[in-house]
Chains A and B, each alone.
Chain A
Amino acid sequence: MSVIFIVLPLALVIVGGAVLAFVWSARNGQYDDLETPAVRVLHD
């Protein structure tokens, strides 16, 4: 069970990474327009 002392902080670090990725993507405008990219991909 004591493995949890290592695994849990590790999990939190991964969560932190995911959160940072989300913040970056939101600030980068990835969620501004959720419709056009779906259509755009048809042509590329």
Chain B
Amino acid sequence: MSTAAIPVTTSADILCAHCGLPVPEGLLDDNAEQQFCCSGCHTAFGILHAHGLDSYYSFAERRETPVRASGRSYDEFDHPAFANLYVTALPGGLSRTELYLEGVHCASCVWLVERVPLLVAGVLRAELDVRRSLAVIEWDIATVPLSRIAQSLDTLGYPPHPFRGVARADMRRREDRAMLVRIGIAGAIAINVMLAAIALYAGELDTMDAGFTRFFRWVSFAITVPAFIWPGRVFFTGAWASLRTRALHMDLPIAIALTAGFVRGATNTITDAGPIYFDGLALLIFALLVGRFLQQRGQRLAVDAAEELHAIAPITARIIEHDVARDIPSEALLPGMLLDVRAGESFAADGVVMRGHSSVNAALLTGESRPASVTVGEMVYAGTLNVESPLRVLVQQAGETSRIAKLMQQVEESAKRRAPIVQMANRMAGVFTAVVLVMAATTFVIKWQLSSAHALDDAIALLIVTCPCALALATPLAITVAVGRAARRGMLIKGGDALELLATPGIVVLDKTGTITEGRTALTVWHGPDWVKPLVLALEEGSSHPLADGFRRAWPGLPMGTVSASRHIVGGGLEGTVSGHLVRIGSPGFVRESTFDVDESLQHVIDDLDRTLTPVHIAIDGVVVALAGLGDRIRDDAFDSLQQLRGRGWRTVMLSGDAQDVVASVGRALAFEAQDSIGAVSPEGKLAFVERLKATSGRTVVMVGDGVNDAAAIAASHVGIGVHGGAEACLATADIYLTRPGLGALVELTEGSRRTLRVIRRNIALSIGYNLIGASLAMFGLLTPLIAAILMPTSSITVVLGSWYSTTFARPTTTESVL
């Protein structure tokens, strides 16, 4: 592909048959049945078609709406502050950065992105990780600036964003590799020791020659040693840490059993008498490592998916210096700089309005769904949205000291405080540990008193057979399977403890805006003749106000009148001449100030309009002829879902930053108790409410929300749930993130959690059952190595099968689309 073929001008209607991106006009081929955006897509299509793989094109993972180039300059990518934050210098004058690409969705993306070195001179490497949408770029800073590379990616349809988790991602990658190596080695050793063990057991039944027996025992010994030195070492370090901190940890009995078994096995090998245990020990190390890996992996997938979504505060800001505007990274903002914020953009810092007046949507910060007007001298906050017209803002607080950053610090502190719950599983293991140790000691002492020659062997057999092989797998396996299935149903669960807590009914606290409601303005009431609609739509077409958006979404595809003149009155509404009529749309006060007549049929409707809606009057040629009510619509499934939750014993509470009368009205519609519909709560107030509820109710408190205003409360709650379309801060702190809209997922989540917990209990019961049988056999000296070798894997296999075939979360059906 040559540079000329980069889709710069595209024909909007014709989409690439392979990837769904618009096809550049120059590449349209009138004779062909399919059109392609590039030769890469064409080739890929040809390959798939030739191999009968056309079903690829019916996969749900293909995007519905392709991402278009944004056409930004990306000048801020060259700023020294940007380089400090995101770029690593490599030897030889090279630099490396990781960029998060929007719109990565299909195979051709890999092809396109990895061809960047051919398109832009000076780029040496471009590699894309499709699952995480992260591209690693290495380039020569002397030849080409990063902004130029970013522009190229943007032109290809993948607007790049800096990725902030580079250091952490590197650390994880190293951890993952080390873990994988350990599992691989432990597995190879376990299998080979098992092979030798089978030979030994078979030989026992068939009286094998003593020389062979000794050989196999020495071979088992020799290959088990590396399993202890390398993969097994983690348990010894864990046990050592547990001893130093004086807290009983699962690693401790494991380490004791491993040591005792190994020492006894080694002496038995040397003296050529008694059981050697090596097969059991090697398998134990392997199974425990796999359990840990599964647990970690499942949690990380969900965390990644939630965290790689976009930032709330804009990453760049436009500042005015000596009357010249330029883009700089938000991190480089300092108090005293003058910001230029256009309509539809977010503020990058807290500051005072110096010029212009507009309205600001602070829903992200406060939960208030209606925009508030601001004018010169008033404060605006980072992360909130400028709705109507351009503003000049003098920066007062930027970065760490802005209101949103302080809220985020609270979030982090709350998240840290939650740690004790995670430790509970370990405390349970502590009890188990103590019991096993006591049992082993008792067996030894009693047997010694009875002067049995096998006292030590029996005690060691008990330690090994009770070792929490199945028990260690029981919980992580059930949780991993449940988390995986839930993810396919659009519920990303970050920690297993959330599942456990959701299994018993408690109190669910829901945010209103964006959680119970759709979080955007929609036309819900309309009284007026149809002929007015085209006139309204024509006038609203040019406006960026959320109310205008409500009209546009309500009547898509309706014909529009022709506007000959229009005027926008901030805080009032719109006025203009449309198809020869004088049209006024806006607040009742604004419309009525120039009109005297109100259409008779509307008189009573005006008084009856629901007070939670924003009323909009429409006057044509001096007469009010239509009335519209716009508001935040309640989600379709909200009532049913809430009723189901209540039916299962959950108490439901609505907590919102919105005005009390709005909240009360929504609460009545959804059958909330009057005292459980609480409005006008600040983000700090939400945090305090959740903390109080936790302290006084003694039940599980679940917080469901979507905005930064909920983030602190989400972090403080027992289980925090972020809903579809929420802010990044909220997703990062939530234990569970729902990727599909609506509250139906909440019901499914509690139901699935209940079933998961049942599977966990069954698993634990099974493994304890096996342990009890094993322990009693060992105490009575009936446990031969053969029985131990059969008992251990069967218990693990039962647990694995039991977890896998459990119906915790329903599998997605083919007709359902899962986002």
Chain A interface (Cβ within 8 Å of chain B)? 1, 4-5, 8, 12, 15, 18-19, 22-23, 26-27, 29, 31-33, 35-36, 39-40, 42-43
Contact = CB atoms under 8 A, between A and B. Distances in A.
Chain B interface residue number, banded = 20 to 34
Contacts of A26: 177, 180-181, 184
Given A1-B209, A32-B177, 13 more contacts: A4-B212, A12-B219, A19-B184, A26-B181, A27-B181, A31-B180, A33-B129, A35-B129, A39-B130, A40-B110, A42-B107, A42-B111, A43-B108
Contacts of B128: 36
Nearest to A27: B177
Interface stretch (B39-47, B326-334, B488-496, B559-567): B39-47
Among A31, A40, A42, the one with the most B-chain Cβ atoms within 10 Å of its Cβ is A42
B673 interface: no
A23 B44 contact: no
Contacts of A8: 215, 219
B787 interface: no
B415 interface: no
Nearest to A21: B184
Contacts of B108: 43
A21 B110 CA distance: 28
Nearest to B134: A33
Contacts of B219: 8, 12
Contacts of A1: 209, 212
B213 to A, nearest CB: 12
B176 A22 contact: no
Interface in B103-159: 107-108, 110-111, 114, 128-131
B772 interface: no
A17 B181 CA distance: 14
A18 B188 contact: yes
Contacts of A29: 173, 177
Contact of A4 (B110, B130, B215): B215
B192 interface: yes
Nearest to B177: A26
Contact of B131 (A31, A33, A40, A42): A33
14 contacts: A5-B215, A8-B219, A19-B184, A19-B188, A26-B180, A31-B177, A32-B173, A32-B177, A33-B130, A36-B129, A42-B48, A43-B43, A43-B44, A43-B111
B130 A35 contact: yes
A15 B192 contact: yes
A15 to B, nearest CB: 6
Contacts of B223: 12
Among A5, A27, A35, A39, the one with the most B-chain Cβ atoms within 10 Å of its Cβ is A39
6 closest Cβ contacts across the A-B interface? Answer: A43-B111, A39-B107, A36-B130, A22-B184, A26-B180, A26-B181
Contacts of B131: 33, 35-36
Nearest to A1: B212
